[in-house]
Amino acid sequence: MRMKRNRVCLKKLLIIPVCVLFIFSLSSCNATGKYEKRDIDEKIIVHALGIDMTKEGKFEVTLQMLVQQGSGSNTPIDPSKSNSATVSQVAETIPAAIEQCETDLGKKAFLGHSELILLGKSVTDLNPILDYFINAEGISLGTFMAYTDITAKEILNIKVTSGTYSAEVLKEIFEESQKNGTSTECELIRHIDNIENTNGTTVMPIIKKIKNDKKSSNEKEDASSDIKFGETESDKSKNKSGNEEVGGGSSGSESSSQSEGGGSGGEESGSGGGSSEEAEVTAFYIDGAVIVKDKKPKSVMSRDEVIGLSFLNNGVAEQTIDAKMGDTLTSVSAASVKKQTGVSMKNDRIVIDVNLTIAYEFNKTFSDKEQKEVGQKAAERIHSLCQEAIDKALKEDNADIFEIHSLLNHNDYSVYEEYKKNPEEILKRVDINVSINPQI
């Protein structure tokens, strides 16, 4: 009796999901006007967005999207070829530029799978950009946001043949750099969070492309050398592309270009497809970071300063530190283990004591005494890196990229209230003392 009742009830229950599915299927039949039904092939799956500013103060938006290059492959996506293409448009606002890209392609852009938002060197104000992405439909909070020392368009036009699509490789480069501390945290949500808490301060890594002259990674340019963020370079980047143009599509717009990844892959804008194997595989690297203050790029941190900052923010999984023993240079692997902070007031100064426990792994066999000595040298090196970061960000730029707001909020609320009213004044009174506790 009871089983029969249960069966009847189960039948009733089954009807409910069937009803839900049926009615929602009916909803999707409404295929006209605003809600026109679009198949997956009628959408552009955007993997990376690039934003540059033109001299006229307009936005040049570049969308890097997935295109299937499956000929000769068993699967629709051939990982041995570049599966990405780009489209660019210029407009007064970001949504208008994206809309123009959509018009050119005759497809709707889907930003839900975007992995990277790249800001060109010419971007001077993050306000409209953040406003757009905070409200953008479906964009993931974990999307990476970074600067480049050239135009975003140039970076996105580089075709990478390793991986399924270019943005995937770019993301992997960021992830790996974050692990070794050469890149700061760059998720969209972390930038928004920092900017909300600090009246517009955050720090964004800089991605650079390896030049065509086969420079090795050891010969990369120094981050701080002659880079001035805020300069428009749209004219430089225009017509640089050596890729195949697949459609004019300007349709009255001021600037428009589309390029599609070539078959052999590895071509870079301007290279004409003749770049070396080395350039094909390691086309990008992270070098330095931009300090953003009042939502505007203020200055550039060098690679060493960024590593120091990563140690201070307890974000290094593994970084090779050089230590000199007598005349020989050796190296150890260092990783952040624990960070202890204390806030105290001394006279008028706010003193933040940071005690970092760093674990070492030695790449060579040492005696106990030598291990201690190398450890000590490495600790000194890390201390100097941290100090460089503090000098640059706090002393020079008066920028809160060390989570000072959070420390004050948790330790001294009255100072935090002052900080909220006038962060500049409070930051001038902050001293950060770093001590390293090596764990061998």
Partner 1 sequence: MRKISFGQMVIILFLSRIFYTMTFIPFMYSDVTCQIIGFSICTAIECLAVIPMIVLYKKHPDKNICQVIYEKSKLLGILTCVVFALAAVLVINRLFRYFGYFVYATFPDFLPTWLVIGAVAAVSFYAAFQGIEAIARSAGITFAFFGLSFIIVILALLGKMSFSNVIYDYPKFDDILHEIYYELSKFSELLLFPILYPYVKEKAGKSVYGALALKLIFVYVITTVCVLTLGSFLNISKFPFFDLGTYAETFIIERLDAFLLPAWILVAFIKTSLLLLVGKIALSTGFKRVKSNVFLLVLTVAAYAVSLPSVLQEKWNIDVLDKTVITIFLIVLGVLLPLVFCFGKGDENEAE
345 binds partner 1 (CB under 8 A): no
Q: Considering beta carbons, is residue 197 or 302 the nearer one to partner 1?
A: 197
Q: CA 121 → CA 81, 255, 273, 308, distances in Å?
A: 29, 18, 25, 24
C-alpha–C-alpha distance, residues 190 and 204, integer Å: 10
- Residue 71 is which amino acid? S
Number of H-type helices and E-type strands within the chain: 13, 15
User: Least Å distance between CB 151 and partner 1?
Assistant: 27
Q: Considering beta carbons, is residue 24 or 71 the nearer one to partner 1?
A: 24
Q: Considering beta carbons, is residue 5 or 369 the nearer one to partner 1?
A: 5
Q: Considering beta carbons, is residue 131 or 361 the nearer one to partner 1?
A: 131
User: Least Å distance between CB 348 and partner 1?
Assistant: 24
In this structure, what are the phi and psi dihedrals at residue 384, rounded to the nearest 5 degrees?
-70, -35
What is the per-residue burial (b if ≥16 Cβ within 10 Å, else e) of 331-362? ebbbbbeeeebebeeeeeebebebebbbebeb
113 binds partner 1 (CB under 8 A): yes
266, 275 in Cβ contact below 8 A? Answer: yes
336 binds partner 1 (CB under 8 A): no
183, 286 in Cβ contact below 8 A? Answer: yes
Q: Considering beta carbons, is residue 362 or 416 the nearer one to partner 1?
A: 416
User: Least Å distance between CB 102 and partner 1?
Assistant: 11
Q: Considering beta carbons, is residue 219 or 413 the nearer one to partner 1?
A: 413
Of 260, 305, 388, 403, the one binding partner 1 (CB under 8 A) is: 403
Burial group, residue 61, by CB count within 10 angstroms (0-12, 13-18, 19+): buried
1 binds partner 1 (CB under 8 A): no
Of 138, 346, 347, 365, the one binding partner 1 (CB under 8 A) is: 138
Q: Considering beta carbons, is residue 24 or 218 the nearer one to partner 1?
A: 24
- Residue 373 is which amino acid? E
Of 2, 4, 28, 39, the one binding partner 1 (CB under 8 A) is: 28
30 binds partner 1 (CB under 8 A): yes
At CA 407, angle to CA 406 and CA 410, rounded to 5? 85
Q: CA 375 → CA 308, 318, 369, distances in Å?
A: 17, 15, 10
9 binds partner 1 (CB under 8 A): yes
Residues 265-324 that bind partner 1 (CB under 8 A): none
Residues 141-200 that bind partner 1 (CB under 8 A): 141-142, 189, 192-193, 196-197
434, 351 in Cβ contact below 8 A? Answer: no
Of 3, 31, 71, 137, the one binding partner 1 (CB under 8 A) is: 137
Of 140, 212, 331, 333, the one binding partner 1 (CB under 8 A) is: 140
User: Least Å distance between CB 377 and partner 1?
Assistant: 30
What is the DSSP secondary-structure string of 188-257? Answer: HHHHHHHHHHTTS-EEEEEEEEPPTT---GGGPPPTTTT--TT---HHHHTT---SEE-----TT-S-EE
Pick the piece of the chain touching partner 1 (CB under 8 A) from 106-114, 117-125, 214-222, 358-366: 106-114
382, 436 in Cβ contact below 8 A? Answer: yes
User: Least Å distance between CB 406 and partner 1?
Assistant: 4
332, 360 in Cβ contact below 8 A? Answer: yes
Where along the sequence are the contacts to partner 1 (CB under 8 A)? Answer: 9, 12-13, 15-16, 19-20, 23-24, 26-28, 30, 34-35, 108, 112-113, 134, 137-138, 140-142, 189, 192-193, 196-197, 403, 405-406, 409-410, 413
